[in-house]
Structure 1
């Protein structure tokens, strides 16, 4: 089974975004990083996918909306991130 697609919506200078990407990098996970600092099409896409989201990062693994950096770190602490990344 192929690894699920990972999308992360970020903004320039966001420490939480850097922390989330660092964790994904440590896991060897390939991801699409969409910078929405200036808004635009990808920000609109993020808002469609997570209508209540008002902060970045917003992380999607496959069809699962993980949430932000804290939620990603929580999945790792609970031992659930690896299986989600595996698909």
Structure 2
């Protein structure tokens, strides 16, 4: 199974949508880094992803992007092969 890292916020509807899609594709666990109230974690995410918005999703170290990027990848048929 792929190693997934998800930077998120508890109050972010896009984060919830991204996690729902991952669950729908059979992913049961991921490393979640909640950046709420943690400017150090948000700065580390921004450095790694080049973006400051959440969610930021990485699969096996590859930056996928945010929620819309994850859904677009799935729509193109590219998500499931990365998850295997």
Q: Normalised by the size of structure 1, how large is the TM-score? A: 0.86
Structure 1 equivalent of residue 5 of structure 2: 7
- How far apart are 1:40 and its partner, in Å? 4.1
* Structure 1 outlier segments of 4+, above 6 Å: none
Counterparts of 2:64 and 2:40 in 1: how far apart (Å)?
21
Q: Is the 8 A contact 2:57 2:65 kept in 1?
A: yes
How many residue pairs get aligned? The number is: 83
Q: Is the 8 A contact 2:14 2:67 kept in 1?
A: yes
- How far apart are 1:49 and its partner, in Å? 1.1
RMSD (Å), alpha carbons: 1.3
| CA deviations over 1:6-50 (Å, ceiling 9, x no partner) | 000111210000000000111121211111011244323312211
Structure 2 equivalent of residue 35 of structure 1: 34
Structure 2 equivalent of residue 82 of structure 1: 80
Q: Mark the runs of 5 or more structure 2 residues left unpaired by the alignment.
A: none
Q: Normalised by the size of structure 2, how large is the TM-score? A: 0.89
Q: Mark the runs of 5 or more structure 1 residues left unpaired by the alignment.
A: none
Counterparts of 1:37 and 1:80 in 2: how far apart (Å)?
30
Q: Which residue of 59, 66, 78 maps to 1:61?
A: 59
Counterparts of 2:15 and 2:76 in 1: how far apart (Å)?
20
